[in-house]
């Protein structure tokens, strides 16, 4: 009998700041499968997230299928815009939300995990990170700075994470990121260079799969997930329309859930997927396969 068993594995899930998005759902699925999980959380959101955990505000989401409560081994400050602490400008390092956190860079997070556990403490790294400060602007109106920030945080951060975490991962380890259809096709309203960042992320997944596979024996994949009306996605401004449109036009018409993406991530992170690398896996109710919009039935709401 095949069993998705991650007992004895440790995962870092980077990009979790609440219980509403894909990152939290992936962390929960990994724990349900037996893994232990540490988090990397953006410093400006860190105290809020820790307070929510400590005050029991997330207890409903933390409930596991066996009745137990989800627990994270550690929650580290992580700003994936910076590979090393020296890369962060002084105004960031001296900001009140950063200055007492120590090394919040990708390299700093790797060093802390080694110090807290062992020389090769990780089996799984989940990249659930994206930020486009001008995501509501059309590409033609996006500034160079906004465009480059979107690529830096949403795509290059994966390169930096494979570079820093690859050497401290155990044999058979796995990297997994989250992408979106906008990297392949036009999604009006998903701007600010974010579509370019997702395209770069998918291209980098293939190259990193080759390089990290040959150098470290690690796998690198990405999930192209359908839209989810999470708090983070609300920054896009059209997320509700995106969810409704996919539900109308996908082969499976029920809304995608974060749990479904979490389950797929757990599989891709497990030994059951040992032959899968350099791949985009679609978890979007089949929407990616459609080449023409479905005509709405009489009386159904028209899409803009």
How confident is the model over 14-59, as pLDDT tens digits? 999 999 999 999 999 999 999 999 999 999 999 999 999 999 999 9
Report pLDDT for 298.
47
Report pLDDT for 233.
62
Give alpha helix (H) positions in the chain. Answer: 22-32, 43-54, 59-62, 90-93, 106-116, 144-151, 157-165, 194-216, 239-249, 258-268
Token pair 């991530």 is found at: 265
Segment (H or E) for 74: strand 74-77
Q: Phi then psi for 181, rounded to 5 degrees?
A: -50, -25
Question: 98-115 pLDDT, tens per residue?
Answer: 999 999 999 999 999 999
User: 65 pairs with which residues across the strands?
Assistant: none
298 within domain boundaries: no
Which residue in 177, 225, 185, 218 sits closest to 201, CA to CA?
177
* More confident site: 123 or 190: 123
219 within domain boundaries: yes
Q: Report how far residue 231's alpha carbon sits from residue 44's, in angstroms, rounded to the nearest whole number.
A: 15
Domain, as residue range, for 108: 10-287
301 within domain boundaries: no
Report pLDDT for 230.
64
Residue 204 pLDDT greater than 60, yes or no: yes
| Torsional sign, CA 116, 122, 124, 125 | positive
Q: Whole-model pTM? A: 0.93
Q: How many residues does the chain have?
A: 304
Q: Report how far residue 241's alpha carbon sits from residue 250's, in angstroms, rounded to the nearest whole number.
A: 14
Name the least confident of 164-168, 193-197, 286-290: 286-290
269 within domain boundaries: yes
Which residue in 237, 239, 242, 232 sits closest to 136, CA to CA?
237
- Find out whether 75 and 41 touch, Cβ atoms under 8 Å: yes
pLDDT tier at 303, thresholds 50, 70, 90: very low
Q: Report how far residue 112's alpha carbon sits from residue 283's, in angstroms, rounded to the nearest whole number.
A: 33
Residue 241 pLDDT greater than 90, yes or no: no
Token pair of 270, please?
Answer: 């497990």
SS3 category, 219 = strand
The CATH number covering residue 161 comes to 3.40.50.720
4 within domain boundaries: no
Question: 49-63 pLDDT, tens per residue?
Answer: 999 999 999 999 999
Chain mean position to CA 282: 14
To 10 degrees, what angle do helices 144-151 and 194-216 make?
30
Q: Report how far residue 265's alpha carbon sits from residue 25's, in angstroms, rounded to the nearest whole number.
A: 9
Q: Report how far residue 162's alpha carbon sits from residue 300's, in angstroms, rounded to the nearest whole number.
A: 46
- The catalytic residue positions are 180, 190
Segment (H or E) for 179: strand 169-179
Cβ-based neighbours of 196, under 8 Å, separated by 6 or more: 139, 147, 150, 151
Cβ-based neighbours of 86, under 8 Å, separated by 6 or more: none
What is the average per-residue pLDDT within 250-273?
95
5 within domain boundaries: no
Name the least confident of 93-97, 239-243, 297-301: 297-301
Question: 64-82 pLDDT, tens per residue?
Answer: 999 999 999 999 999 999 9
pLDDT tier at 244, thresholds 50, 70, 90: confident
Which residue in 184, 143, 161, 195 sits closest to 76, CA to CA?
161
275 within domain boundaries: yes
Which residue in 127, 74, 81 sits closest to 104, CA to CA?
81
Domains in the chain, number: 1
Report pLDDT for 299.
44
Which residue in 74, 72, 15 sits closest to 45, CA to CA?
15
* More confident site: 247 or 84: 84
């Amino acid at each position: 009998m095949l069993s998705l068993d991650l007992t004895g594995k440790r995962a870092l899930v980077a990009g979790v700041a609440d219980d509403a998005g894909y990152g939290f759902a992936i962390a929960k699925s990994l724990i349900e499968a037996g893994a232990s999980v540490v988090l990397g959380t953006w410093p400006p959101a860190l105290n809020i997230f820790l307070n929510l955990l400590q005050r029991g505000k997330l207890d409903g989401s933390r409930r596991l299928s066996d009745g137990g409560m989800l627990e994270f081994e550690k929650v580290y400050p992580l700003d994936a815009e910076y590979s090393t602490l020296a890369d962060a400008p002084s105004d960031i390092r001296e900001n009140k939300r950063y200055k007492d956190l120590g090394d919040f860079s990708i390299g700093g997070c790797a060093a802390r995990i080694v110090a807290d556990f062992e020389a090769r403490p990780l089996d799984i790294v989940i990249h659930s990170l994206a930020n486009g400060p001008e995501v509501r602007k059309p590409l033609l109106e996006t500034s160079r700075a906004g465009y480059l920030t979107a690529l830096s945080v949403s795509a290059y951060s994966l390169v930096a994470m494979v570079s820093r975490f690859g050497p401290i991962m155990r044999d058979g380890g796995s990297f997994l990121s989250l992408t979106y259809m906008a990297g392949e096709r036009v999604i009006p309203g998903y701007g600010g260079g974010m579509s370019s960042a997702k395209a770069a992320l998918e291209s980098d997944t293939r190259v990193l799969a080759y390089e990290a596979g040959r150098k470290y024996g690690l796998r690198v994949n990405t999930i192209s997930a359908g839209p989810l009306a999470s708090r983070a996605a609300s920054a896009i401004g059209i997320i509700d329309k995106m969810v409704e449109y996919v539900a109308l036009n996908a082969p499976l018409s029920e809304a995608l859930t974060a749990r479904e993406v979490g389950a797929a991530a757990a599989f891709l992170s497990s030994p059951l997927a040992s032959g899968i690398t350099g791949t985009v896996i679609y978890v979007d109710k089949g929407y990616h396969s459609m080449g023409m919009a479905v005509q709405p039935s009489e009386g159904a709401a028209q899409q803009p």
